[in-house]
Amino acid sequence: MSERYEELSDDVKNRFMEIYESKSFPIKIAFKFVDDSKLKQVIKIQKLPEIYQFLLEKEVIVYFNEALYDKMDSDDLVQILIEQELDKLSINIDSGKIKMNKSDLITSAGLINKYGSGAVMRANQIDIMSNEQSEDMANVAG
């Protein structure tokens, strides 16, 4: 057995599921939970390849570094981190397929400190919208 991976505690699983169930997903997602002692962040969500979905009867794997999780001094911080990861999941209602989205706000701490998170988020949203418009124009032309 691996020294890196262990079963995740029920307390952490229950906290995750409580937050997941408070969000509005169109279908129920089957999660596999793992405590990953070498994970460099508190939580990471990853869609499983189809063969593993079949073998494990799970669709998404949720990695936690439980040691880092236990050091979190605020329940609000845990809530934010879990919600950020859950927000990466999107589900096609027609097909039931799960897709992983990129985060809306990807930047450096320096830019957030300099301009504030609101300004950086607006800039990123404008960038995303202009890319979508360019793709739409290309699809119409092609």
Strands 98-100 and 89-91: antiparallel
Query: Is-above-0.75 flag for pTM?
Result: no
Q: What is the pLDDT of residues 24-68, one digit of tens each?
A: 888 899 999 999 999 989 999 999 999 999 999 999 999 999 999
On whether the CB atoms of residues 6 and 37 are closer than 8 A, the answer is: yes
With residue 121 as reference, give the H or E element that holds it: helix 117-141
On whether the CB atoms of residues 34 and 62 are closer than 8 A, the answer is: yes
Q: What is the pLDDT of residues 85-129, one digit of tens each?
A: 898 898 888 888 898 887 766 666 666 777 777 777 776 666 566
3-state helix, strand, coil in the chain (%, to 5): 50, 15, 35
Does residue 133 have a pLDDT over 70?
no
Q: Which residues contact 79 (CB under 8 A, 6 or more apart)?
A: 19
Backbone φ and ψ of 42, nearest 5°: -75, -45
